[in-house]
Amino acid sequence: MENISRKERAGHKYIPGTANKVEEQHVSEHERLQTLQRYALNKNVEEFVELLNTFPVDKQADLINMMEHTKEDKEVC
C-alpha cells in the first residue's frame, strides 16, 4: 500500500514548520487529546471536564469512551 501522506502533490511541497490552518488545528487538537488523556489517568475530573468542553459536542462522547478504555488499559491490579 502506498503511503500517500508523504507523497508530494503536483505543484505542492510540504515543508514542516510552515503550518497552514489545517495543520495548526491538528497539532492543537493532538496536544489537547494528550492533556485530556493525562487528566483521565490522573483522575483530575474537573480539569478533564473543562478541557473536554473545548471539543465539539459530537466528539465528546467518543472522547469519554476512548479515555475510559485508556484508563482501563493503564490500571495496575
Single pTM value for the model? 0.61
- Assign 40 a pLDDT band (cuts: 50, 70, 90): confident
Q: What is the pLDDT of residue 9?
A: 57
First vs last Cα of the chain: how many Å apart? Answer: 40
- H/E segment holding residue 76: none
16-32: pLDDT as tens digits: 666 677 777 778 888 99
Give how far Cα 52 sits from Cα of 5, 46, 55, 73, Å: 29, 10, 6, 20
Grid cell of 60 as nine digits: 465528546
Q: What is the pLDDT of residue 74?
A: 64
Q: Where are the domains of the chain?
A: 21-74
- Average pLDDT of the chain? 77
